[in-house]
């Protein structure tokens, strides 16, 4: 019955329930004692109960039986639905990172085809541009169709949740594989807005470039000391950090999160969205791919002073070229 206990523990973690047993009892229409017996694994859950649980906790049945064939269960947030709200999407991201930050054994391993959200959320003009771009140019929201981007305009709720994401990111270990092309998609987005007249003023474009340069400076310092570090309201958050440079083009943003003996694999999907699976077989496949990239990459953190300098100078050169086009 170990699988049943693991399954119900996963449900508990998903909702972060304070009284999971009572919640389960209400859902299944059983007594509190009967719910505890199912949680302990002394009473098996039947198919109709699994059906209710999967629907309520948004779990795939494949995850229950731990299917290991060629099909894998994935989870994602559908963006093109009437009830999709980007704030809820960000809040769910924050909850996931908060869970990681609560465990001492948590770590992430990622390939950065694009700027990781966790890093760009620490820079006001950059994150405001990204959030605006997603809503106007990706989601094509009606209320954004006639707006131009102004770096001084912001939503307080977005600021709060992205700040939390940024802080949580500094609370667990990470190994990150970057590439010379990592900035390219962001620079092209800025370029597109410049050419389309979608900035309220050119000053906003300059402010985003300033943030990108500040992001690179912070990243370079952290690579040098092999540690992520941030100070917020007098409190310091830090964790170990490994950074690699890959000269092999990274075809997607892949993230593997390790915590509590579990592995969660995320693959980029539909611009800023991602597909997530905790299937052991899929996670093993992803890990093998990332490891193949890593062993062929150059370690920039703590060592490789010359190569690290050259890598960051190359990225700064791209920002300088963009600045010249902002007239």
Q: Which residue do the tokens 């001084």 mark?
A: 152
Residues 125, 50 contacting (CB under 8 angstroms): no
- Give yes or no for residue 62 having a pLDDT over 70: no
- Give yes or no for residue 310 having a pLDDT over 90: yes
Domain span(s) for CATH 1.10.260 in the chain: 2-65
> What is the length of the chain?
327
Mean pLDDT, all residues of the chain: 89
- Using pLDDT thresholds of 50, 70 and 90, give the confidence band for residue 64: low
Across 75-79, 167-171, 250-254, the highest mean pLDDT is recorded for: 167-171
- The alpha-helical segments, DSSP class H, found in 145-201 are 156-169, 184-195
Share of the chain above pLDDT 90, in %: 60
Which pair of structure tokens corresponds to residue 20?
């999971």
β-bridge pairing 298-299 and 254-259: unpaired
- Using pLDDT thresholds of 50, 70 and 90, give the confidence band for residue 200: very high
Which pair of structure tokens corresponds to residue 101?
């930050």
- Give yes or no for residue 190 having a pLDDT over 90: yes
End-to-end CA distance of the chain: 67
Spatial distance between the Cα atoms of 312 and 300, rounded to a whole number of angstroms: 10
Residue 12: its pLDDT value, please? 84
43-57, 59-73, 78-92, 312-326: the lowest-pLDDT one: 59-73
Spatial distance between the Cα atoms of 278 and 266, rounded to a whole number of angstroms: 9
Least Cα distance to 174 among 73, 275, 16, 290 occurs for 290
Residue 242: its pLDDT value, please? 96
Beta partners for residue 299, in sequence order: 244
Which pair of structure tokens corresponds to residue 194?
């410049």
* pLDDT tens digits along 112-136: 989 988 899 999 999 999 999 999 9
Spatial distance between the Cα atoms of 253 and 268, rounded to a whole number of angstroms: 5
* pLDDT tens digits along 231-244: 998 899 999 999 99
Residue 10: its pLDDT value, please? 78
* pLDDT tens digits along 245-262: 999 877 778 899 998 888
Give the 3-state secondary structure of residue 196.
coil
- Using pLDDT thresholds of 50, 70 and 90, give the confidence band for residue 304: confident
CATH of domain 2-65: 1.10.260
């Amino acid at each position: 019955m170990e699988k049943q206990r693991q399954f119900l523990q996963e449900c508990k973690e998903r909702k972060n329930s304070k009284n999971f047993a009572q919640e389960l009892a209400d859902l299944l229409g059983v007594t509190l004692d009967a719910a505890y017996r199912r949680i302990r694994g002394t009473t098996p859950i039947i198919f109709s109960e699994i059906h209710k649980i999967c629907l309520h906790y948004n779990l795939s049945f494949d995850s229950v039986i731990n299917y290991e064939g060629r099909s894998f269960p994935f989870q994602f947030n559908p963006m093109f639905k009437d009830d999709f709200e980007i704030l809820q999407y960000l809040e769910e991201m924050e909850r996931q990172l908060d869970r990681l930050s609560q465990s001492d054994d948590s770590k992430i391993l990622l390939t950065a085809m694009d700027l990781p959200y966790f890093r760009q959320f620490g820079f006001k003009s950059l994150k405001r541009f990204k959030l605006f771009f997603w809503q106007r140019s990706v989601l094509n929201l009606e209320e954004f169709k006639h707006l131009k981007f102004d770096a001084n305009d912001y939503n307080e709720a977005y600021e709060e949740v992205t700040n939390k994401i940024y802080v949580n990111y500094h609370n667990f270990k990470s190994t990150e594989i970057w590439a010379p092309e990592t900035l390219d998609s962001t620079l092209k987005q800025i370029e597109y807005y410049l050419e389309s007249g979608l900035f309220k003023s050119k000053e906003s474009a300059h402010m985003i470039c300033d943030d990108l340069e500040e992001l690179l400076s912070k990243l370079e310092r952290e690579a040098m000391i092999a540690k992520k570090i941030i100070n917020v309201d007098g409190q310091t958050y830090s964790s170990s950090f490994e950074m690699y440079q890959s000269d092999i083009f990274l075809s997607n943003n892949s993230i593997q999160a390790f915590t509590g003996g579990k592995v969660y694999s995320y693959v980029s999907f539909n611009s800023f969205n991602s597909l997530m699976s905790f299937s052991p077989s899929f996670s093993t496949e992803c890990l093998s791919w990332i490891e193949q990239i890593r062993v062929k990459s150059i370690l920039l953190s703590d060592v490789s002073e010359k190569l690290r300098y050259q890598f960051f100078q190359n990225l700064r050169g791209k920002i300088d070229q963009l600045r010249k086009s902002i007239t």
